[in-house]
Each structure stands twice: as C-alpha cells, then as structure tokens.
Amino acid sequence: MKKVLLLAFGLMALNVLNAQVKNPIQWAFASKAIDANTYEVSMTANIENGWHIYSQTTPEGGPIPTEISFAKNPLVSLVGAAKEVGKMEQRREELFGVDVKQFSGKVVFVQLVKLKGKAKTALTGSVYFMTCNDHECLPPVTRKFEIALN
C-alpha cells in the first residue's frame, strides 16, 4: 500500500512540474521624447534561446502574426504603423506549410506618436502574439501595457 501511495504521489509531482507555464517572451515598454510633441514608443520582446515570435505580417494559413493595438486617446495620434527593429529571419514553417518572417533573441516594435497639447498622458494598449520553437507553438497571449508620455 505504501508503494502504491508513493508511486501515485511521485506521478502527481511529475505532472505538476511538467505543467509549469512556459513564458519564453519577456516584454519591456518605454517612451522617448523626439521633440516637444513627438515620442518614440518601444515595445521590446526579449526572447528565450530556441524560441521565436512572428512578424506583424504572416501569409494566409500561417501562424498568428504579432498584433499591436492601441486604445483611443484624444490627446495622442499615431504616426504611421509600428516598425519592427531586429534581425528578421525568413524561413519555411513546416508546421504551417508556409514561408514566414520571425524574430529570435530580441525584437523591438517602434511606434511614433504625437501629443495634441502639453498635458501628461499615457498610451495604453496590448500586444497579441504567438511563440514557437522547433517542436511546439504556445497558445497566443495578450500582453497589456501602459506607457507614460511626459
């Protein structure tokens, strides 16, 4: 009986250890004043070795692209679309059967914004992304952010 209980406890412990949540992407958010009313907002993904994140554009039938959404703020206007800064890799994604653009190590998404006035405000929004390695893809994740503009 003791052996059965010990075996059951051991299997449960292994199951708990195996069920730990994987989080291979760490995000950092910042803003930098370019001039009195213009800011460069950066959303930096630091990616664990062996993992990658996809570009903002992926082909139909491919993996979920990284999507950056900003909440409406009457004091802020976006200037163009967010740019991707990092070493882009293009490769065949066998899991999806398409050619994709992805980033490993680090990528910075940069968005220029203009303030409509001199009031202090913040830019809020979210990054929706999917992370994969050569063996698996994790479910898509939404990471919310708030970045001070002052």
Please spell the DSSP secondary structure of 26-54, one letter per residue. EEEEEEEESSSSEEEEEEEEEE-TT-EEE
| 27 within some domain | yes
| 9 within some domain | no
Biggest CA–CA distance in the chain, Å, is 74
Any idea what the Cα angle at residue 70 is, between residues 28 and 78, rounded to 5°? 100
pLDDT for position 20: 61
Per-residue pLDDT tens digits for 94-112: 878 999 999 999 999 999 9
| 43 within some domain | yes
Compute φ and ψ for 93, nearest 5 degrees: -95, 95
| 15 within some domain | no
CA-based nearest residue to 25, from 112, 148, 108? 108
Average pLDDT, the chain: 88
| 10 within some domain | no
| SS3 state at 1 | coil
Read off the CATH number of the domain in which 69 is found.
Answer: 2.60.40
| 4 within some domain | no
Domain count, the chain: 1
| 17 within some domain | no
- Residue 11 reports pLDDT greater than 70: no
Tokens standing for 13? 């412990």
Per-residue pLDDT tens digits for 52-88: 999 999 999 999 999 999 999 999 999 999 999 999 9
The answer to whether 145 and 43 are in contact (CB under 8 A) is yes
Question: Which structural domain, as residue segments, surrounds residue 109?
Answer: 23-149
| 107 within some domain | yes
Element (H, E) at 69: strand 67-70
